Amino acid sequence: MTTDNTMNRRTFMKAGAATIGAACAGTIAPFTPAAVQAANAKGGTGYDASAFTVCDMCFNRCGAIARLRGGRVVKLDPNPHFVKSRGMLCGRGAAGIGQLYDKDRLREPLLRVGKRGEGRWKSVSWEYALNLAAERYLDIAKKYTRCGVVFYFGSDMQTPFARRFAEAFGSHNVATQE
């Protein structure tokens, strides 16, 4: 049996995959449901449940632990096992509960009924809002081609869906802040 110690692309890829697999295997354990239950049981935190989640307040998507009481998120803690954020959560991330429960957040589609700036709106059904949006997209496509629509979106977790929508619509005009 001969051994060849030369490094080629195939050998390099195998070694890289094995290294990444070994590194990932050590990080999966802290994210299991058993780990969440253990975190809840440890020290009597006063919370009914905890759930691992990811902050969506900026592009970093730091790991967090949502603490629940009565089925409502009451606190967001940093996930100490989340390597990217080094077990920390910034002020914006900790305030993410406000985004979830803010009394002024949109809960249904609204349609402007007055002139811009008047602040006059009416509630409409999702079906009506989606049909109106589709109509307007198709009007633009008919008049300017599908590339007449520019899709601009942020860097949150909806980005892959927005990219796919632009692609499915047929527009190559995509801009993002990523």
pLDDT for 142 equals 92
Through-space distance between the first and last CA atoms of the chain, rounded to whole angstroms: 52
CA distance 33 to 9: 38
pLDDT for 59 equals 75
Bridge partner residues of 67 (DSSP): 50, 75
Give the tens place of pLDDT for each residue, 144-154. 888 888 888 77
Sheet with 63-69, edge to edge strand ranges: 49-54, 63-69, 72-78
pLDDT for 26 equals 45
Give the tens place of pLDDT for each residue, 30-84. 444 555 555 555 545 678 888 888 887 877 788 888 888 888 888 888 888 887 7
* pLDDT (average), residues 117-135: 93
pLDDT for 20 equals 57
Give the tens place of pLDDT for each residue, 80-125. 888 777 878 888 788 888 888 888 888 899 999 989 999 899 999 9
Nearest to 56 by CA among 162, 159, 161: 159
Q: Residue 103 phi/psi, 5° resolution?
A: -65, -20
pLDDT band at 28, cuts 50/70/90? very low
